[in-house]
Amino acid sequence: MNKYPEDSKTTLTDLVLPSETNPLNNLFGGELLARMDRAASIAARRHSRRIVVTASVNHVAFNKSVPLGSVVTVEAKVSRAFKTSMEIVIDVWIEDRESGRRSKANEAIYTFVAVDDVGHPVPIPEITPQTDLEKERYNAALRRKQLSLVLAGKMKAKDATELKALFE
């Protein structure tokens, strides 16, 4: 069965409370990682309809601090499905209180694996990107998977053909 990134779209909106901030009164990085992990796991579950586990956090950019009291929206979507693993791209937005205008605060890329009841990886549906952004993210996902596997010591650099092509 084929699915679309939109099928997995997951949006979590919540406030930043005092217990979730650092001494500068900005959102603590670990709290944002947890929110992103939660949204990504729901997106992975929506795509696979399976139990899913976080295999890797491939990229996180804390570009902008998120002040106390902010309304934070975390949006997660599966960008590419492989055999048993999925790449999830997460965009984080904050909302201006007066205008309601959203600005991009952070982004991250996680890898989830679908597993059976005893934790063994199981196959997942294919995905077809539709928008230009979805296609761009889909096309770059194999390189990121290879980089993640090389860094984890699960793939030899010489076998990371898509990744190597970037430098040739």
Residues that bind ligand COA (CB under 6 A): 53-56, 82-85, 111, 113, 115, 119, 121, 145, 148-149, 152, 154
Least distance (Å) between residue 1 CB and ligand COA: 16
By C-beta, is 104 or 154 nearer to ligand COA? 154
Q: Nearest to ligand COA by Cβ — which residue?
A: 82
Q: How many residues can be counted in the chain?
A: 168
By C-beta, is 95 or 125 nearer to ligand COA? 125
Taking the C-alpha atoms of residue 20 and residue 44, their distance in angstroms, rounded to an integer, is 26
Kindly provide the b/e burial profile for residues 71-81, where b requires at least 16 CB atoms within 10 angstroms of the residue's own CB.
bbbbbbbbbbb
Taking residue 53's Cβ as centre, other Cβ atoms within 10 Å add up to: 14
By C-beta, is 152 or 157 nearer to ligand COA? 152
Phi, psi (degrees; rounded to nearest 5) at 99: -85, -25
By C-beta, is 16 or 40 nearer to ligand COA? 40
